[in-house]
Amino acid sequence: MIDGTIYLNSASTEAATDALRRCCASRRWVDSMLDCRPFADRDALQLAARTEWRKLDRSDWLEAFEAHPRIGATDVRERWSRQEQAGAVGAPPHVLEALVHGNQEYEERFGFIFLICASGLTAEEMLEALQSRLSHQRAEELDVAAREHEKITAIRLDRIADID
């Protein structure tokens, strides 16, 4: 397995674009990350990712959010998303049902999907976070979701070395 930073530095633009889009689906973020190459090391990669994410506007964030499956969805096909949401696997049916209904309420209220860095969380913890965030105003919640997406992106960047 090669270091993901080395992979991104040496990959073709097309391959690096594909790898970065698996981490974050914002086209502007991917383009800016490509412009940041080469990365000195993983810390420099992570710093660039955070810096470039924070330069984006809200429409770019929403574009990135659209690529994520809903928390607790049973038809998640993308391997990284399945791994990140592993805490929902085997959750009691009433919790999964509450996640489905909570996701719908959240999307109706805010106009985008509920995002949470689900790695290591149980379905119950995800549901609790979803329910507590429903009390936010839209602007506040968009900022919270953007911070959660930033965490997800950092985890995914660390997984780039696993690209087949």
pLDDT number for residue 164: 42
Residues 6+ apart with CB under 8 A from 159: 4, 80
| Domains of the chain, residue spans | 4-162
Is it true that the peptide bond before 69 is cis, omega within 30 degrees of 0? no
pLDDT number for residue 119: 86
Instruction: Provide the whole-model pTM.
Output: 0.86
Other CB atoms within a 10 A radius of the CB of residue 150 amount to: 17
| Per-residue pLDDT tens digits for 32-44 | 999 999 999 889 9
Written as six digits, the tokens of 85 are 């949401």
The CA R_g of the chain, rounded to the nearest whole Å, is 16
The domain 4-162 is placed in CATH, from the list 1.10.3330.10, 3.40.50.620, 3.40.50.720, 3.40.50.300, at 1.10.3330.10
Mean pLDDT of 9-14: 94
